[in-house]
Amino acid sequence: MINLEVPKKAKTLINQARQAATEVFRPISRKYDRAEHSYPTELDMLAALLDGLNTSGEGGAGAAGVRRKDDKDTSGNRNGSNMLTVLGTIELCWGDVALLLSMPRQGLGNAAIASVANDEQLARFGKLWAAMAITEPGCGSDSAAITTTATKDGDDYILNGEKIFVTSGERADAVVVWATLDKSKGRAAIKSFVVEKGTPGFEVVRLEHKLGIRASDTAVLRFDNCRVPKENLLGSPEIDTKKGFAGVMQTFDNTRPLVAAMAIGVARAALEETRKLLAEAGIEVDYDKPAMAQHAAAATFLELEADYEAAYLTTMEAAWMADNRKPNSLQASMAKAKAGRTVVDITLKCVELAGTLGYTEESLLEKWARDSKILDIFEGTQQIQQLIVARRLLGKSSKELK
């Protein structure tokens, strides 16, 4: 059974994360939204604190992963690093999602390394700031269509290809790059490689200007005969047509609930700000009255809160299942799909309810509305998540249901 109360051991973490969001993120949120591509130096000290929380096993935000073989708890009912990281992420993104994405060593590449690296790789790469490079100019939501190649050459692999929309692609110390060992063998040949900055043949081509999450740098990367040691391949180098791609995709089972948590944090921020503005306008949200018996704005607000609760609970379920070593691919995609769509609906509707205050820079509502859209896109778009959910529920393969 899933206990819907926040775990007692998470309360200290949540309080610390909320304090960081309130005292660090919120005060500089507008500053770095305007100063796109400027690195928020205020985050360095906070990043060191999160490093300590992750190392101690207390959880932080962003970089945690599931190392199932190291999990000694077989009771079948525990709240571990995934749950704690999700709860911390919600609080920090209540402050500012772009600033969380700008945190050193808290990238999606770190989550991949934490989840699938072997002990030797974890020792080498565990303290690096790692970005994740999947999307290509001709390959978006269909990760299986990756064309970046990794050719074995002695004790190395030679990478060739281009990656786009890489979060922290310029700032990170390394990038987890998805590439194919053999295009003729399809999905099973796709593997992930850790490529460190400064490696010959690895180039940051440009930074993107974006609608939202402007504090976070988003880069285009090019790999031109980039030679990396074979020891930098995460997971098995064998091409297994039955489970090869599934092994790489398992990373998403951990990172998609994190993106859902980001969406939940932004949605809650928008709801709280809107409730305050409604109260100032004399509009009361009454939970003891039917929605139809209240002001139209209050009724709309109640609908948005209900949607938020549904997204929150699906995310908690996905994180709990990961902590309890239960397959959560379906739940991870459900959480990402629900939270991604919900945050967009909530932030846009909150802008509408707030009127002129929602559309100006007097409040952060307009910024949250811009930031929210990417949370419905990256780590698999809304449409891709629905497709994955449909496949899982109907028992169809990717060939049978496209």
pLDDT of res. 1: 43
Handedness of CA 8, 13, 15, 18 (dihedral sign): negative
Structure tokens at 183: 């295009």
More confident of the two residues 237 and 95: 95
Residue 203, φ and ψ in degrees, nearest 5: -130, 135
The residues assigned a catalytic role are: 379
Name the CATH architecture for the domain at 128-234: Beta Barrel (2.40)
Confidence band (pLDDT; 50, 70, 90) for 397? confident
128-234 shares the fold of 9-110: no
Strand partners, 269: none
Q: What would be the CATH architecture of the domain defined by 9-110?
A: Orthogonal Bundle (1.10)
Residue-wise pLDDT tens digits, 34-57: 999 999 999 988 887 776 666 655
- Tell me the one-letter amino acid at 329: S
The CATH code of domain 246-394 reads 1.20.140.10
| Whether residue 362 has pLDDT greater than 60 | yes
What is the dihedral angle through the alpha carbons of 370, 264, 68, 7, rounded to the nearest 10 degrees?
150
Q: CB under 8 Å to 220, separation ≥6 — which residues?
A: 162, 163, 164, 165, 166, 169, 204, 205, 206, 207, 208
Report phi then psi at 393, rounded to 5: -70, -35
Asked whether 379 and 358 are in contact (CB, 8 A), the reply is no
Full 3-state SS string of the chain: CCCCCCCHHHHHHHHHHHHHHHHHHHHHHHHHHHCCCCCCCCHHHHHHHHHHHHHHCCCCCCCCCCCHHHCCCCCCCCCCHHHHHHHHHHHHHHHCHHHHHCCCCCCHHHHHHHHHCCHHHHHHHCCCCEEEECCECCECCCHHHCCCEEEEECCEEEEEEEEEEEECCCCCCEEEEEEECCHHHHHHHEEEEEEECCCCCEEEEEECCCCCCCCCCEEEEEEEEEEEEHHHEECCCCCCCCCHHHHHHHHHHHHHHHHHHHHHHHHHHHHHHHHHHHHHCCCCCCCCCCHHHCCHHHHHHHHHHHHHHHHHHHHHHHHHHHHCCCCCHHHHHHHHHHHHHHHHHHHHHHHHHHCHHHHCCCCCHHHHHHHHHHHCCCCCCHHHHHHHHHHHHHCCCCCCCC
pLDDT at residue 61, as a whole number:
57
pLDDT digits (tens, 9 = 90+) for 174-230: 999 999 999 888 888 999 999 999 999 999 999 999 999 999 999 999 999 999 999
pLDDT digits (tens, 9 = 90+) for 326-343: 989 999 999 999 999 999
Predicted pLDDT at 270: 98
In this predicted model, what pLDDT tens digit does every residue of 115-145 receive, in sequence order?
788 999 999 998 899 999 999 998 877 777 8
pLDDT above 60 (res 71): no
Q: What is residue 387's predicted lDDT score, i.e. its pLDDT?
A: 94
Evaluate if residue 243 carries a pLDDT over 60: no
Domain ranges of the chain: 9-110, 128-234, 246-394
pLDDT over 80 (residue 33) = yes
CA distance to 135, 179, 206, 216, per residue, from 162 (Å): 9, 10, 12, 20
What average pLDDT does the structure give for the chain? 89
